[in-house]
Amino acid sequence: MNTSIIICTYNEEETIFKVVAACCKHNPEAEIIVVDDGSTDDTRAALETLSMHYEFEYLKLPENRGKSYAMAFGAEYATGEVILFFNADVSGIRKEHFAAMLEPIYNEQADFVMGAPSGVTIDFKSNPYKSVIGQKAMLKEDLMPILNDIREIRFSVENFILLHYQTNGKRVHFTVLDGLLLVQQNNAKAPYLGLNNDDSEGLEVANALLTNIDLITKRVQNNIQLTQNYTKSTITSVQFELNKRMKALKERINEMELA
């Protein structure tokens, strides 16, 4: 299956060169797309230097529109059947990381794969949804119907996509990419979440979840239904087994009485 790897970046001059180089090196047959979300640092210069060694598409947005907008922009441009979103603020990229993300899609074992960097500690009190931030792989045909929603959500796009797949009964696979590290684990730099006002992250995440409360409600309803179905199935199985044993016991008693 043809694959498009999309790297969305905003002022990631320290890491973008190595991230794009690794994506190109380990995926020579894939379409590599870099979406620059209005960077004001030397991101463009770094990529111009890299373009002398590897072939990739560089799409520069005129202004910072947010990560979700950049993701939708890249997905629309992509020509691959499979799309892999790879973060620009990571290090320690290995060839096996791509296999872990893509093979479940290629082998039809999953519809959506989320890959988290290793060694990431999550502060659930400050943001209980941050654990879903990571690399994302899926079929383009599954992504296109919600592309307009993704374009506008800005923050918490990973949560929105995850909820969409879960509420529609899609197969979701989580994996830890051993050795892959977030840049902010080694310095004070915050991850690229979309806009340059990091203080608004919590509010934006809350707004995104409230806006998509219908998806959350549907997911809860689906989980309840699955639980009810499982319970009914279990009761039916137990009842069947009990009836079978009772029948065997009655037959044994009749045999003993006749004897």
Between 210 and 143, residue with greater pLDDT: 143
| Secondary structure element (H or E) that encloses residue 9, with its range | strand 3-9
Can you tell me which residue has the tokens 């045999």? 255
Q: Could you count the other beta carbons within 10 Å of the beta carbon of residue 122?
A: 14
Residue identified by tokens 């209980």 is 128
Instruction: Say which amino acid occupies 44.
Output: R
For residues 179 and 182, give the distance between their C-alpha atoms in angstroms, rounded to a whole number. Answer: 10
Q: What is the pLDDT of residue 131?
A: 47
Judged by average pLDDT, the poorest of 14-28, 42-56, 59-73, 110-124 is 110-124
pLDDT at residue 185, rounded to an integer: 45
Mean pLDDT score across all residues of the chain: 82
| Residue 32 main-chain phi, psi, to 5 deg | -105, 125
- Same domain, yes or no: 27 and 88: yes
CB atoms within 10 A of CB 188: 6
Check residue 190 and give its pLDDT. Answer: 46
pLDDT above 50: residue 80: yes
Domain residues for the domain of 39 are: 3-199
Q: Is residue 100 part of a domain?
A: yes
Report how far residue 21's alpha carbon sits from residue 66's, in angstroms, rounded to the nearest whole number: 24
Find out whether 251 and 202 touch, Cβ atoms under 8 Å.
no
pLDDT of 137 strictly over 60: yes
CATH code, domain carrying 179: 3.90.550.10
Q: Closest by alpha carbon to 83, among 17, 150, 129?
A: 150
pLDDT score of 139 more than 50: yes
Same domain assignment for residues 252 and 171 = no
Q: Residue 83: is its pLDDT beyond 90? A: yes
Instruction: Tell me how far the alpha carbon of residue 250 is from its chain's centroid.
Output: 56
In the chain, how many domains are there?
2
Are both 53 and 107 inside the same structural domain?
A: yes
172-177 and 112-117 beta bridge pairing? parallel
Instruction: Give 116's strand partners.
Output: 176
Q: Is position 204 within any domain?
A: no
pLDDT, average across residues 128-154: 82
Please indicate, yes or no, if residue 79 is contained in any of the structural domains. Answer: yes
Q: What is the predicted pLDDT for the residue at 220?
A: 55
Nearest-angstrom CA–CA distance, 20 and 34: 8
For residue 53, the number of C-alpha atoms closer than 13 Å in the C-beta half-sphere is 12
Residue 227 amino acid letter? T
Q: Are the C-beta atoms of residues 16 and 97 closer than 8 Å to each other?
A: no
Q: Is residue 105 part of a domain?
A: yes
Asked if the structure places residue 130 within a domain, the reply is yes
Q: Are 9 and 34 in contact (CB under 8 A)?
A: yes
For residue 38, tell me if it sits in a domain.
yes
Q: Do residue 112 and residue 182 come from a single domain?
A: yes
Residues 221 and 167 placed together within one structural domain of the fold: no
> What's the rounded Cα separation, in Å, for the pair 5 and 84?
5
Pairing of strands 112-117, 135-139: antiparallel
